Amino acid sequence: MQTADILDAIGGLTSQLKAYAAKLPPIVHLVAVPTGVKPKLEAIEDYEDIVTRVRGHSTGTVYKGLNEPFVASLEAFEVGNLLGAVQPLLAVLDHLERMQRDKEIEVGRINEKRLSEYRTALHKILPGNKPELDGAGRGM
C-alpha cells in the first residue's frame, strides 16, 4: 500500500460525503438525522467497500494505524452523522502529514496537492462552514 492508495480512498469517501451532504436540508441536527435523509444503501455499501479495501491492504504497513479512523467514519456515515464521518477523515489527513514530517512516508508533490485538496473539500462539507474556521482541524 502506498500513500497514493490511501489518498485514492479518501478521495472516494469524500465524493460519497459530498453527494450525501448535497441531499441534506440546510439545517439538520448533527446527531439524529431523519430516516429519509440517511445515505442510501448503495452509498453505504460503496463507502464500506472502500474502507474494507484500505483495511485489507494496510495490514502490516505503516498505514495500519489509519484503520480506526476509517472505520469510525464508516460507522458515522451509516447512520447519517455527517460531522462524525468527516472528522475522522480529517484526522487521517493530519496523521499522513505527521508521518510525512517524521519521514515515515514519502509524499510527492502531486500527493501533497491532493492532501490539500481533500482537506479543503472536507472542510466545505462540514456543517456551518465559515471562513473563520479555515485551518480548523489541522495538526494534532
In the chain, the number of structural domains is 1
Q: Looking at the domain assignment, is residue 140 inside a domain?
A: no
Q: How many CA atoms lie within 13 A of 43 on its CB side?
A: 20
**48 within domain boundaries:** yes
Please tell me the distance from the alpha carbon of residue 6 to that of residue 121, in angstroms, as a whole number.
16
Query: What is the 8-class DSSP label of residue 37?
Result: G
The DSSP secondary-structure symbol of 107 reads -
Give me the residue label for grid cell 451509516. Answer: 78
Helix (H) or strand (E) holding 84: helix 82-101
Residue 49 sits in which domain range?
3-24+35-126
Asked if the structure places residue 137 within a domain, the reply is no
| Residue 66 included in any domain | yes
- Decide if 138 is inside a domain: no
pLDDT at 34: 52
Residue 135 within any structural domain of the chain: no
In a domain, 136, yes or no: no
Across the 140 residues of the chain, what is the mean pLDDT of every consecutive 10-residue run? 89 93 68 65 95 91 92 94 92 94 89 92 77 48
CB 71: neighbour CB atoms within 10 A? Answer: 16
Q: Is residue 55 part of a domain?
A: yes
pLDDT of residue 126: 81
